Amino acid sequence: MKIAVDLDDTLSIVDRVSRGQAYIQRKGLPFRLRDPDSQHLLRVFDWTEEDAVEFVRDGGITVYTEAELRPGARETLTRWREEGHTVVVLTARLNAFFENPYSISRDWLEKRKIPYDELAVVTSGKGMYCAEHGISLLVDNDLENCLDAQRHGVSAILMVSRETLPRAREVRFGGANWKQVEGKADVIFRTAELEALTARAVRARRVESYDGWTLSFDGWKQPRGNCVRPAMPSRLALEDKIVVCEEKYRAEGRACRFLLTPSDLPLDDLLSRRGYLTERMCFQMTAELDRPYRFCEVADVYEEPSEPWLRDYYALHGTEKAREFRLTQGKAFYVSVRVGGEAAAVATGILDGEWLGLYDVYTREDLRRLGYGRAVCETALREGVRCGAHRAYLQMQAGNREAESLYTGLGFARAHEYWYRVK
């Protein structure tokens, strides 16, 4: 993932108050302290932009060049880069205040040995900049920058301060220090990873891309087969994009449906205002594959959706609006258990790197709670471990206590919620 991190008051701790007061006292100026909690220089004292520029040029620039590094910032950025993320330091320092904002920012970062991949000085909206440069996460202390990012489908983490605390809930994720920011970022990373895994594992018969959104068109009955998924940031206005998606699904004779996660707060609010209703609540579950899984003698395992397995699958799921198994991405295991020659339970395991996705789990109603569902799941997990999987994931609809009890018993725990809105 590409991550943008603001500099002033996000990576650094800028002390405008004491340095500004020392300057005012030294110069014998009449300015008064107006807002000690503000992180905008023009609002700290009752001075004009010209006064603030004069302060910066008369030695006040040390407010920024000598600012302390926030505890934990260097360690967090180091970890992100080690995990393969790209870190962009994004600052909105203006030429009116800084003669060369790029070099001053670079020198501050290098002096404090801050690890990063790119440095950019932005003079316009950070949200659009992130969308145009493929940045999926912004960490910033400025509330408006975070809200602008969210409007473009960019996940944002607000570095909360006293100034922004009253409105901090308008940003989906926030933290008062880098330890909290790192924790929220882990949630965003895992959500994006699981949704990407699912999108690769089970593809619709037709998929289109539209300004960072993925549009799926299929006949199978699961909502993922026919929905809009906001996979990447948006350059275009969300309202205009929604209209285009509605027209595309209307032309196919289908309802326009959106798959949303907690990172999609602005889009969710907008869809609600446009009359979209929540169709169903679901959640992803994950498990570490660090336990032995039982060998089930009555379970049959196929490496292709063979005729015997498909016969069992259709007997349990029905043939109408079934998904196309030939579109399955990656190595897969198709598991079934029969009782008296008839299908009792089925499951599919789909391998992607160290992850195994568990899909198509179903047990015949009159045979539930007898261990057949657990048998097909354990068999699929065992095959995944044999082929190198270390983690597993699955999706389930909220409220299915029986299924959740089965998965919890296998070591799964809830990772994140997702839901559908449909017009």
Q: What are phi and psi of 337, to 5 degrees?
A: -125, 135
pLDDT of residue 122: 87
Residue type, 41: L
pLDDT of residue 202: 86
Q: For residues 317 and 174, which has the higher predicted lDDT (pLDDT)?
A: 174
Q: Based on C-alpha coordinates, what's the Rg of the chain?
A: 26
The segment with the largest mean pLDDT, out of 69-78, 193-202, 317-326, is 69-78
Residue 320's pLDDT band, with cuts at 50, 70 and 90, is low
Alpha carbon distance 127, 143 (integer Å)? 12
Q: What is the pLDDT of residues 166-215, one digit of tens each?
A: 999 999 999 999 999 999 999 999 999 999 999 999 889 999 999 999 99
pLDDT of residue 41: 84
pLDDT of residue 219: 78
Mean pLDDT of 89-96: 86
Domain ranges of the chain: 2-176, 203-275, 291-389
Long-range CB contacts for residues 300-305, cutoff 8 Å, separation at least 24: 300/335, 300/336, 300/337, 300/338, 301/333, 301/334, 301/335, 301/379, 301/383, 302/333, 302/334, 302/335, 302/336, 303/331, 303/332, 303/333, 303/334, 304/334, 305/332, 305/334
Q: What are phi and psi of 407, to 5 degrees?
A: -70, -35
Residue 295's pLDDT band, with cuts at 50, 70 and 90, is low
pLDDT of residue 98: 82
Q: Per-residue pLDDT for 297 more than 80?
A: no
Mean pLDDT of 282-305: 88
Run of H or E residues at 325 = none
Q: Which fold has domain 291-389?
A: Aminopeptidase (3.40.630)
Q: What are phi and psi of 319, to 5 degrees?
A: -90, -20
Cβ atoms of 102 and 89 closer than 8 Å: no
Q: Per-residue pLDDT for 94 more than 90?
A: no
Residue 250, Ramachandran bin (φ over 0: left; ψ between -120 and 50: alpha; else beta): alpha
Residue 123's pLDDT band, with cuts at 50, 70 and 90, is confident
Q: What is the pLDDT of residues 347-371, one digit of tens each?
A: 999 999 999 999 999 999 899 889 9
Q: Which of 26-35, 100-109, 127-136, 315-324 has the lowest mean pLDDT?
A: 315-324
Mean pLDDT of 286-312: 88
The CATH number of the structural domain formed by 2-176 is 3.40.50.1000
pLDDT of residue 276: 97
Q: Could you give the percent of the chain with pLDDT greater than 90?
A: 77
